[in-house]
């Protein structure tokens, strides 16, 4: 639930959300509509290619926003990051740089940039603290993406210092929940696991059993944040936080990929075998954020336990499969 003063704040704002039709963005839009925000603008990529300067300029001319939440990005799992490192770097960097620059030129009141846990160094001490963000190079498989997003923090801090530009930078851990991307080529770990186990279960029921093959050893750990918790946190932070320092927004603790796979396997009632393909990378060994600053600075912490969020996500995906058949 959003605090009453935050609800009142948003009711009066003209807000532009890049990526507002995507996974996280759609949940933010839903909350804003529910609380009575009337002026919400969601530019679509077919109309506004944010890699093109002219399109970014036209976007600001068309919408005249007071607040911008920049979510638009090119993302994917380990495989996609390995396959498209150049695209992931260029597209994310150029979009962010131009969206921030024109927000400054058009006098935007507040800019909110969403960073990524992938920006942290590969061997950051657990839990990741904001002070450790620059103490090493990111994990190699997603370094281009992580560094592109990290440069936007540098830009916001430089603009605050030189121009007094009010931009904040929030670092989110791995998100999951309803409306996530379940495409096995580009999805993150939770939707990929859910889809693999459900499809394997369906194959077994049809008499075509096969094992579920998963990447790596399963020893790597990750922290997951339910998408609705993240959406509420971003709206609260926009209202209550105005500092140059990045702020972590994490979940409720880390879990190994092996334990996560076992949990999802049991939830979907798959009775078959799991094979770990150790020729594939694990990615960063551990990921878990220290989110104490978010609680201290703007009163936010994650509220949805992983098991509860996973069940909601699985239920949503099963409903989607029914609709598609």
The 3-state DSSP class for residue 84 equals: coil
pLDDT of res. 227:
98
Question: Rounded to an integer, what distance in angstroms lies between the CA atom of residue 130 and that of residue 128?
Answer: 7
Residues 150, 152, 154, 156, CA torsion sign: negative
pLDDT of res. 79:
81
Residue 125 DSSP one-character state? P
Name the helix (H) or strand (E) containing 50: none
Six token digits for residue 131: 């002070």
The fraction of the chain above a pLDDT of 90, given in percent, is 92
Identify whether the C-beta of residue 178 lies closer than 8 Å to the C-beta of residue 168.
no
Is the bond leading into 88 cis (omega within 30 degrees of zero)? no
The fraction of the chain above a pLDDT of 70, given in percent, is 100
Which domains occur in the chain, in start order? 4-180+223-253+286-304 (3.40.50.720)
Q: Indicate if the pLDDT at residue 77 is higher than 90.
A: no
Q: Indicate if the pLDDT at residue 76 is higher than 80.
A: no
pLDDT of res. 188:
87
Residues designated as active site:
145
For the entire predicted model, the pTM comes to: 0.94
Identify whether the C-beta of residue 269 lies closer than 8 Å to the C-beta of residue 205.
no
Q: Indicate if the pLDDT at residue 170 is higher than 90.
A: yes
pLDDT of res. 245:
98
Residue 271: pLDDT band with limits 50, 70, 90:
very high
What are the DSSP E strand ranges found in the chain? 14-18, 39-41, 67-70, 110-116, 167-172, 174-176, 212-215, 221-226, 247-249, 254-256, 274-277
Report pLDDT digits (tens) over 31-60.
999 999 999 999 999 999 999 999 999 999
Query: For 196-212, what is the mean pLDDT?
Result: 95
Let me know if 163 is exposed, middle or buried by CB neighbors in 10 A (0-12, 13-18, 19+): exposed
Nearest to 274 by CA among 249, 257, 253: 257
Task: Mention every residue, 6+ apart, whose C-beta is less than 8 A from residue 218.
Answer: 256, 257, 258, 261, 276
Which segments of 18-77 does DSSP mark as H helices, in order?
23-35, 53-63
Name the helix (H) or strand (E) containing 78: helix 78-83
Question: Rounded to an integer, what distance in angstroms lies between the CA atom of residue 206 and that of residue 203?
Answer: 5
pLDDT of res. 110:
98
């Amino acid at each position: 639930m959003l605090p009453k003063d935050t609800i009142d704040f948003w009711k009066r704002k003209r807000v532009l959300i890049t990526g507002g039709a995507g996974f996280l963005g759609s949940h933010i839009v839903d909350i804003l509509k529910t609380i009575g925000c009337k002026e919400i603008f969601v530019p679509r990529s077919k109309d506004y290619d944010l890699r093109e300067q002219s399109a970014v300029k036209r976007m600001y001319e068309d919408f005249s926003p007071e607040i911008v939440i920049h979510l638009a990005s090119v993302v994917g799992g380990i495989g996609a990051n390995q396959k498209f490192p150049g695209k992931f770097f260029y597209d994310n960097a150029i979009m962010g740089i131009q969206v921030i620059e024109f927000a400054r030129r058009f006098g935007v009141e507040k800019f909110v940039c969403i960073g990524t846990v992938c920006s942290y160094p590969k061997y950051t001490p657990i839990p990741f603290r904001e002070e450790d963000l620059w103490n090493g190079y990111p994990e190699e498989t997603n370094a281009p993406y992580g560094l592109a997003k990290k440069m936007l923090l540098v830009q916001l801090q430089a603009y605050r210092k030189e121009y007094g530009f009010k931009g904040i930078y929030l670092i989110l851990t791995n998100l999951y929940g309803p409306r996530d991307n379940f495409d096995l080529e580009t999805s993150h770990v939770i939707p990929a696991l859910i889809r693999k186990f459900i499809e394997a279960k369906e194959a077994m029921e049809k008499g075509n059993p096969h094992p579920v093959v998963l990447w790596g050893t399963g020893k790597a750990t990750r922290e997951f944040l339910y998408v609705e918790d993240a959406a509420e946190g971003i709206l609260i932070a926009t209202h209550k936080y105005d500092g140059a320092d990045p702020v972590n927004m994490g979940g409720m603790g880390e879990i190994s990929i092996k334990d996560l796979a076992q949990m999802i396997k049991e939830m979907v009632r798959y009775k078959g075998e799991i094979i770990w393909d150790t020729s594939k990378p694990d990615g960063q060994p551990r990921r878990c954020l220290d989110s104490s600053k978010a609680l201290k600075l703007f009163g936010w912490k994650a509220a949805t336990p992983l098991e509860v969020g996973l069940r909601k996500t699985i239920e949503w995906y099963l409903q989607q499969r029914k609709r598609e058949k």
